[in-house]
Amino acid sequence: MASTHKVAKGETLFGIAKKYGLSVDELKALNGLKDNNLKIGQTLIVQKNPASSPKPTANNPISGSTHTVQAGETLFSIARKYGITVALLKTLNALKNNVLKLGQILKINRTSPNTNATSYTPPSSSPAPTDSISQQKIQFGINFTGGIITGMSDNETRAYAANVAYTESRFRHQIENDYGYLGLYQFGAAALVEAGLIQRSRYQAAVQIHGSKLANGANASIHKAFIADSSNWAAGHSKQHFLNNPHIQHQAFVAYTNNNIQYATPAAKRAMQGNLAKIAAYMKMAHLLGPSRASEGTVNPNFDASDKNQTSMQQYGLGAANEIRTLAQQIAQRR
């Protein structure tokens, strides 16, 4: 049986997802939710049915055994691997939040999936295991054709792009979300303007009419209609052309990211100087909520904000900060 949670008064998808170590997108996918609306008393699935996950070996108790955190792993993926809940995993390790560090050792007080975890093969219906995700990120980085981000090496740029593309789209270049955000990096109208693909004058004129409904993508129908109108795009570009061309998406990602670096406040630039993890965290926070709030969050790690899906800016940034160096090295070794 899958574990469930009954919605209480005042609860949000973000709060429930955080409680069980899930992302909002994972929680929505588990429950087939198309929006963030909840009803009091609604029952939500908060852990996948063990039948669809790697099954632990019944007679291999490992009380006191441990797991070493690898690049790209989350509490959710580790808990699923060992057939336990995220809540139990956090309790066993006295974790107050969902942040993990590479090399961190976690107690796993349940049965092991196999005496040799590296050779364990899950059923074909299961989600890809962590090592497979890592390989996908490495291959994506190798194939990346967007150029180099200011302040990063070639391989660091590839690693950062892979991290963002996995988070945003699971490497699907033709995807469009419910609000009209497009492609590998989930670009909205504002980002497409910064990347030079949508005409700034057309965008500014539309913002004068629609305000934040367009500028922040707050109104899905307005945002989607603006992007769908080919006359708003720069010459030779359109929504479909963008979705059909990963190379253009890569180039747009680098152009947009380089602009966000330029827009960082002087204090944020000082905080990032020579610190790859902070640079990656800033860029990913800016990708989510723009350079102003990303700058504030870089200077003051206690400052946080969230997007319309209740994604924490700081947690989002940490995802890149924790992975980029190791992933860049792995990409360099394979090229």
Mind listing the pLDDT tens digit of every residue in the chain (335 residues)?
347 888 888 778 777 877 777 767 677 777 777 777 888 888 888 764 433 333 333 333 333 478 888 876 777 677 667 666 666 777 778 887 777 888 888 887 543 333 222 222 232 333 344 558 899 999 999 999 999 999 999 999 999 999 999 999 999 999 999 889 999 999 999 999 999 999 999 999 999 999 888 987 889 999 999 999 999 999 999 999 999 999 999 999 999 999 999 999 999 999 999 999 999 999 999 999 999 999 999 999 999 988 877 788 999 999 899 999 999 999 999 98
Domain count, the chain: 3
- 251-256-257 Cα angle (round to 5): 100
Let me know the angle formed at the C-alpha of 154 by 136 and 236, rounded to the nearest 5 degrees: 80
Which residue is associated with the tokens 């170590």? 21
- What is the pLDDT, as a whole number, of residue 48? 45
Calpha distance 285→278 (Å, rounded): 10
Q: Are 39 and 169 part of one and the same domain? A: no
Domain presence at residue 57? no
Q: Is the dihedral of CA 205, 210, 212, 215 positive or negative?
A: negative
Residues 75, 38, single domain; the answer is no
Residue 128 lies in a domain: no
Residues 96 and 163 in one domain: no
Q: In this structure, are 36 and 73 located in the same domain?
A: no
Residues ≥6 apart with Cβ < 8 Å to 263: 286, 291, 292, 295
Asked, for residue 162, whether it belongs to a domain, the answer is: yes
Co-location of 175 and 310 in the same domain: yes
pTM, entire model: 0.61
What per-residue confidence (pLDDT) applies to 109?
Answer: 57
The CATH number covering residue 156 comes to: 1.10.530
Q: Is residue 125 part of a domain?
A: no
For residue range 146-165, list pLDDT tens digits in order: 999 999 999 999 999 999 99
Structure tokens at 48: 């996948």
The reply to whether 278 falls in a domain is yes
Amino acid found at 304:
D
Residues 146 and 257 in one domain: yes
CATH number of the domain where residue 28 is located: 3.10.350.10
Question: Same domain, yes or no, for 171 and 300?
Answer: yes
What's the CA gap between 296 and 281, in Å, rounded? 12
pLDDT at 2: 44
**207 lies in some domain:** no
- Domain span including residue 103: 66-107
Tell me: do 82 and 158 sit in the same domain. Answer: no
Among 77, 119, 83, 124, which Cα is nearest to 98's?
A: 77
SS3 for the chain, per residue? CCCEEECCCCCCHHHHHHHCCCCHHHHHHHHCCCCCCCCCCCEEECCCCHHHCCCCCCCCECCCEEEECCCCCCHHHHHHHCCCCHHHHHHHCCCCCCCCCCCCEEEECCECCCCCHHHCCCCCCCCCCHHHHHHHHHHHHHHCCCCCCCCCCHHHHHHHHHHHHHHHHCCCCCCECCCCCECCCCECHHHHHHCCCECHHHHHHHHHHHCHHHHCCCCHHHHHHHHHCHHHECCCCCHHHHHCCHHHHHHHHHHHHHHHHHCCCHHHHHHHCCCHHHHHHHHHHHHHHCHHHHHHHHHCCCCCCECCCCCEHHHHHHHHHCCHHHHHHHHHHHC
Is 253 found in the same domain as 184? yes
**Same domain, residue pair 184 and 264:** yes
Cα distances from 162 to residues 2, 250, 327, in angstroms, run 31, 10, 9
Residue type, 131: D
Domain assignment present for 87: yes
For residues 40 and 84, state if they share a domain: no
CA within 13 Å, CB half, 110 = 22
pLDDT in tens, 130-142: 558 899 999 999 9
Is 315 among the domain residues? yes
